Structure 1
């Protein structure tokens, strides 16, 4: 277990389970002493989490995870030590939320066209402000269509059953998959500029999920002002971690460590559960050195 976890989500993300206060209490229970709440396109949880963290005697770094795109590839950009009150974050959240509300019905339609059966009303019951995610559809489908061979990998004992809901999302609803619904995200350049304008450090989240060890693409991303890589991620295999550590060194990027904890949609992921080889203090210093002065 690691005392550093710089990627977690509260219920201010559309797919997070716990309140900001509960999240900080879970950090204490799991031995996390320095955390960063990085909700999807939202900074609304930051001040609440920091207030509770201070009362508990731990550190909560202000953070965010912005959806963005570069060279046609959807990316997630983390921002650390941001000013959560910067108006650009509220504007970005509102834009994405409105698009996500419209995309929900299309996701339901595409999933059913693939032969995945579930009651639309059950997926809508889990929706936050009308946003239906792939994970919500997975939860409804796995309960109501247990014999469907398409869902066998996500059932207990299946190859994708460790985190069935989010794995279902990556396999069916992420970019390039059959139920993907495009959302118009800001560019990587705009995301980097927003994080930097808010006084933060832009770090590429779980690159193994989006960059797929494409060194040329990664170098181009770094050239756009990204200052760090989340090389230590719950998504990464040991081989991927080694690759991104090497790339970070070659590109002079700081390295981050995060579990991407959400709660029930990722049941096998624990706060502080992403090991970073005992390098917590070193990683934190490297990231702090990137804070705009």
Structure 2
């Protein structure tokens, strides 16, 4: 059984519609199970579920929530929770508003460096997304010929410390684990030792997260080398946490290294996670 528990559609910063993503999962990657985990939003669930039912693939309904711990960005995957849980909905709305509200400041900084991008340019790229974010700004830069690929926008412009970087709100990590659990879901830390989060996610921190309700660690991910995977697998074993693997697929928004099914979750770990 082939299981991929971390993918994105155009409801956040992927390029496939939810239905296209599900079809590609089944027909191209030959997956049996795929999770839709758009950033901070569940708006693609219904479309993805309808397509999954039509073609006969199991959909796991999920999300990737932007959180912060000790000043570092940490992404939290939530699975099969109540999307109408009031406290969680309110927190996600705050995160999404943070994405939208920083846009004018980012565009102003770009303009100071001769990169003329408007809100309308970004909206043309974000389309059906729940909020406009840095990937959509990057896509607007590509569309207007300033850069050749989305990655160029992040390297030097939009990443932390970049010429046009602007911070935004991210939910507190421990409280968000508790919110996902209160909404009846399962919580897994995404790619925990990439993008600086390795500085704050120690074995001790994972232990405290497990006490707060954390269910698992995404171990097998493109951003983790073999030594990191071995260490994370050992931490998960010590804490009796589920080990997941996934592609972090974004369609053409990321390189082919993030193709659907690039990394997989073992069937017994899915059973432990969702029962």
| TM, length-normalised to structure 2 | 0.83
Q: How many residues align?
A: 268
Indicate which of 152, 171, 174 corresponds to 1:186.
171
SS of residue in 2 equivalent to 1:223 = helix
SS of residue in 2 equivalent to 1:203 = strand
**Alignment-derived partner of residue 22 in structure 1:** 20
Indicate which of 220, 230, 249 corresponds to 1:242.
230
Q: How far apart are 1:78 and its partner, in Å?
A: 0.4
2:186 aligned with 1:201: yes
**Structure 2 unaligned regions, length at least 5:** none
SS of residue in 1 equivalent to 2:194 = helix
**Structure 1 unaligned regions, length at least 5:** 156-163
Question: Residue 211 of structure 1 contacts residue 218 of structure 1 at CA under 8 Å; is this kept in 2?
Answer: no
Change (3 A) 1:186 1:138: closer
Whole-angstrom distance in 2 between the partners of 1:205 and 1:64: 11
What is the correspondence of 1:143-292 to structure 2 with a 5 Å cutoff? 144=144, 164-166=149-151, 168-169=153-154, 172-214=157-199, 217-224=202-209, 225=212, 226-268=214-256, 269-274=258-263, 276=264, 280-288=266-274
Q: How far apart are 1:221 and its partner, in Å?
A: 4.2
Question: Residue 213 of structure 1 contacts residue 240 of structure 1 at CA under 8 Å; is this kept in 2?
Answer: no
Change (3 A) 1:116 1:229: farther
2:99 aligned with 1:100: yes
Query: Deviation per CA, 1:37-69, whole angstroms, max 9, x where unpaired?
Result: 111111222233223212211111121111111
**Alignment-derived partner of residue 65 in structure 1:** 64
SS of residue in 1 equivalent to 2:74 = strand
SS of residue in 2 equivalent to 1:193 = helix
Change (3 A) 1:216 1:281: closer
Q: How far apart are 1:144 and its partner, in Å?
A: 4.9
Question: Residue 172 of structure 1 contacts residue 179 of structure 1 at CA under 8 Å; is this kept in 2?
Answer: yes
